[in-house]
Amino acid sequence: MFLINGQPGESISANNRGLHYGDGAFETIAIHNQAPLCWEDHYLRLNYGCERLGMACPPSELLLGEASRLLTDKERCVLKIIVTRGEGGRGYRAKQGVEPCRILGRYPWPDYPVQYATDGVRIRICRTRLVRNPALAGIKHLNRLEQVIARNEWQDDSIAEGLMLDSHDKLIEGTMSNLFLIKGQKLLTPELTECGIEGIIRKNVLNLAGNIGLDAVVCEISKDELNTADEVFLCNSIIGIWPVRHIEKREFAPGIYTEKVRQQLLKKNIILV
């Protein structure tokens, strides 16, 4: 179910620049009791992406109002908000005076096994690399072919996620999640200045590290550091926290700190599972 520029509908113009060029940004938001979690964080990032792309971001109140029209029952669900540069399907030049297009979609809560959050997941390392691209870094934009190609490297349902490296063999993130390593008292996560998406849950994890006695460090992390990590976990707004138990042949014990992070996020109503 969608609201497109405020109107209920199932379709968008075939001239939309989102289709032709991926010319837009998006957010994926967990909904509980009809309320979006971490709304301010999501809106800030959407607004920043629109600004970087040189398009106006619809006002927060407008999007919240439209979201409330879509979220009529109290179940958990997922809200996806896409903002594109609107009409203009041939020619890269953006026409002046064209209104951005906003597409709000409600999706069912995904049916990941509940043990993914409690017992952990098996993951792999993707062959597809993330390219360092300062023009696009930091924007949650609609050019997502790297992720699509990486995610389609495997069909084995027992593998829950794939890690992506950049062209310099540095760990960056999962296809749909951010990555954390715990080593002693250090909570490490990759720097995302050249590529990757700075997730909302990632930001919140970094903020609460001190509460549970961890030193948060944002830095370059090479693939080999997976071998010496005590704990590894993934996060995003929908999956919450997934402890990593297996990366290819390497096995990890259930993580005490990972569970502490998850409990803190649950208590603060930042994640739902």
249 catalytically annotated: no
Token pair belonging to 115: 């043990």
Query: How far is it, in rounded angstroms, from Cα 172 to Cα 195?
Result: 8
**Residue of 146, 244, 248, 240 lying closest to 197 (CA atoms):** 146
Neighbour count for residue 74 (Cβ, 10 Å): 10
> 77-90 b/e with 16+ CB inside 10 Å = b?
bbbebbbbbbbbee
Distance CA 144, CA 142 (A): 6
Q: Please, what is the Cα angle at 112 between 109 and 114, to 5 degrees? A: 105
Does the footprint of a second copy cover residue 22 (CB under 8 A)?
Answer: yes
Look at the alpha carbons of 142, 235, 231, 148 in this order and tell me if their dihedral is positive or negative: negative
User: Catalytic one among 27, 66, 161, 173?
Assistant: 173
Per-residue interface string for the shown chain with a second copy, residues 148-187, x marking contact by CB under 8 A: xxxxx--------------x-------xx-----------
Q: Which stretch binds a second copy (CB under 8 A): 34-42, 66-74, 123-131, 206-214?
A: 123-131
Nearest CA-CA partner of 138 in 26, 217, 58, 45: 45
The nearest distance, CB 187 to a second copy, in angstroms, is: 27
Is 28 one of the annotated active-site residues of the chain? yes
| Interface residue with a second copy, options 56, 64, 131, 253 (CB under 8 A) | 131
CA distances from 31 to 28, 58, 60, 251 (A): 10, 20, 16, 33
Q: Which of 27, 28, 66, 84 is catalytic?
A: 28
**Minimum separation from the CB atom of position 225 to a second copy (A):** 24
173 part of the active site: yes
By CB under 8 A, the residues from 47 to 106 that bind a second copy are 53-54, 78, 80, 82, 84-85, 89-94, 103, 105
Q: In terms of CB distance, is 53 or 247 closer to a second copy?
A: 53
* Site residues (vs a second copy, CB under 8 A): 2, 4, 9-23, 26, 28, 53-54, 78, 80, 82, 84-85, 89-94, 103, 105, 107, 110, 128-129, 131-136, 141-152, 167, 175-176
> Catalytic residue numbers?
28, 140, 173
